[in-house]
């Protein structure tokens, strides 16, 4: 049974790449990394009931399992090439595999990403994807280079995924005419867009970069810790979608934008003098970035409200084992 599932995965995800000397089917894959590049690798696991609600469509799970990993490569400024997939399924569910592969391939194909191997086991629904990408030597973006005076920017909008999860957990009793807005937010939760083009464009530009998976405060906090600096965020500058603002009052929308996880936008720092030019370049790539604050000496992330007062921020973001 496993063999048939693996064979089906191989058929559904077929992607020709010159540098894949041996893909799915042997004991291990044989890959030819491009000369003169550095290899960037990451792995992330999604567990049903923890990282996605039970009942999530298999195609959404396939998309998201790859997206969260590609987002890590984007945050490093790397271009993706190969993936491994460890699939743990409660039973040999062919329909799940078909749907999963459809979502996975929809994201993989435009990137020419090849699935080169994996593992298939029985157990509670759990998906691990490992991705491999490349950067020119020494050009990977890290969390560690932010300096006092840098501007802090973020791509896209924040808080949508958290609001999408809220929408799933609190379905309206009657048709209130706002299903389209909720649908947009749920799509943002289930089908995050890894900002790969932005990530590669930030090579040599950003002083630090991270993807927002656990919430802005938590993830910008990681940049601050790694860089030995603090950050000041202006609440009024946080980019928020019209769907988020139409469905929630300002306090809730702000809470989602600061602490909600799963947006997979990039948060990065740039010397202040370079912001305008960089923003224009990123906008031409199709995903704009908004300035949300600045890096300061010290430590920790502080948020200033529109009236100039500092906000008391309790829960920085989603933490496992908290």
Annotated binding site for Mg(2+): 27, 44, 72, 119, 211, 214
Q: Does 2 bind Mg ion (CB under 5 A)?
A: no
What are the structure tokens assigned to 139, written together? Answer: 């050009």
Interacting residues with ligand ADP between 19 and 48 (CB under 6 A): 24-27
Distance (Å, rounded) from C-alpha 285 to C-alpha 209? Answer: 18
Please report how close the Cβ of residue 121 comes to Mg ion at its closest, in angstroms: 8
For 131, other C-beta atoms within 10 Å of its C-beta total 26
Buried b (16+ CB within 10 A) or exposed e, 106-130: ebbeebebbbbbbebeeeebbbbbb
What are the structure tokens assigned to 277, written together? Answer: 């030019």
Distance (Å, rounded) from C-alpha 155 to C-alpha 285? Answer: 12
Judged by CB under 6 A, the residue of 40, 70, 74, 87 near ligand ADP is 87
Which residues are known binding-site members for ATP? 118-119, 143, 213
Judged by CB under 6 A, the residue of 68, 76, 78, 85 near ligand ADP is 85
Judged by CB under 6 A, the residue of 15, 45, 88, 120 near ligand ADP is 120
**Only segment of 115-123, 135-143, 242-250, 299-307 that touches ligand ADP (CB under 6 A):** 115-123
* Backbone φ and ψ of 93, nearest 5°: -95, 100
What are the structure tokens assigned to 311, written together? Answer: 């906000």
- Give me the half-sphere count of Cα atoms (radius 13 Å) on the Cβ side of residue 62: 22
What are the structure tokens assigned to 183, written together? Answer: 């649908």
Q: Please, is 277 exposed, middle or buried when counting C-beta atoms within 10 Å of its C-beta (0-12, 13-18, 19+)? A: exposed
- Residue 24 touches which of Mg ion, ligand ADP, none (CB < 5 to 8 A by kind)? ligand ADP
* 188 and 161 Cβ atoms separated by less than 8 Å: yes
For Mg ion, the closer of residues 119 and 299 by Cβ is 119
- Residue 87 touches which of Mg ion, ligand ADP, none (CB < 5 to 8 A by kind)? ligand ADP
- Residue 174 touches which of ligand ADP, Mg ion, none (CB < 5 to 8 A by kind)? none
Q: Does 6 bind ligand ADP (CB under 6 A)?
A: yes
For Mg ion, the closer of residues 45 and 142 by Cβ is 45
Q: Does 119 bind Mg ion (CB under 5 A)?
A: yes
**Only segment of 117-125, 150-158, 199-207, 301-309 that touches Mg ion (CB under 5 A):** 117-125
Please report how close the Cβ of residue 127 comes to ligand ADP at its closest, in angstroms: 9
Beta bridge partners of 238: none
Closest-CB residue for Mg ion? 119
Which residues are known binding-site members for substrate? 51, 262, 318
Please report how close the Cβ of residue 210 comes to Mg ion at its closest, in angstroms: 32
CA distances from 282 to 67, 267, 271, 276, 278 (A): 20, 13, 16, 10, 6
Please report how close the Cβ of residue 61 comes to Mg ion at its closest, in angstroms: 21
Return residues touching ligand ADP (CB under 6 A). 6, 9, 24-27, 85, 87, 115, 117-120
């Amino acid at each position: 049974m496993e063999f048939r599932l693996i064979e089906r995965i191989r058929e559904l995800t077929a992607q020709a790449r010159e540098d894949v000397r041996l893909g799915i089917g042997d004991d291990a894959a044989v890959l030819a990394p491009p000369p003169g590049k550095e290899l960037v690798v990451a792995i992330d696991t999604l567990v049903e009931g923890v990282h996605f609600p039970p009942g999530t469509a298999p195609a959404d799970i396939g998309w998201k399992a790859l997206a969260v990993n590609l987002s890590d490569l984007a945050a490093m400024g790397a271009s993706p090439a190969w993936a491994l997939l460890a699939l743990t399924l409660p039973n040999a569910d062919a329909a799940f595999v078909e749907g999963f592969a459809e979502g996975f391939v929809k994201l993989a194909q435009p990137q020419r990403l090849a699935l080169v191997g994996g593992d298939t086991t029985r157990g509670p629904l759990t998906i691990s994807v490992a991705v491999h990408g490349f950067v020119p030597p020494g050009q990977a973006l890290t969390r560690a280079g932010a300096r006092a005076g840098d501007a802090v920017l973020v791509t896209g909008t924040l808080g949508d995924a958290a609001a999408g999860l809220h929408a799933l957990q609190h379905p309206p009793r009657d048709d209130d005419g706002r299903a389209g807005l909720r649908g947009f937010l749920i799509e943002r939760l289930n089908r995050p867009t890894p900002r790969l083009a932005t990530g590669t464009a930030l090579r040599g530009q950003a002083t630090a970069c991270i993807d927002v998976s656990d919430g802005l405060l938590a993830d910008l906090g990681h940049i601050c810790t790694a860089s030995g600096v603090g950050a000041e965020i202006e609440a009024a500058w946080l980019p928020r979608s019209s769907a988020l603002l139409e469905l929630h009052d300002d306090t809730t929308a702000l809470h989602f934008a600061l602490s909600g996880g799963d947006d997979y936008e990039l948060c990065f720092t740039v010397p202040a003098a370079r912001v305008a030019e960089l923003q224009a370049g990123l906008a031409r790539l199709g995903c704009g970035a908004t300035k949300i604050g600045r890096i300061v000496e010290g430590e920790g992330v502080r948020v200033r409200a529109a009236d100039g007062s500092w906000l008391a921020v309790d829960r920085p973001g989603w933490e496992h084992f908290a």
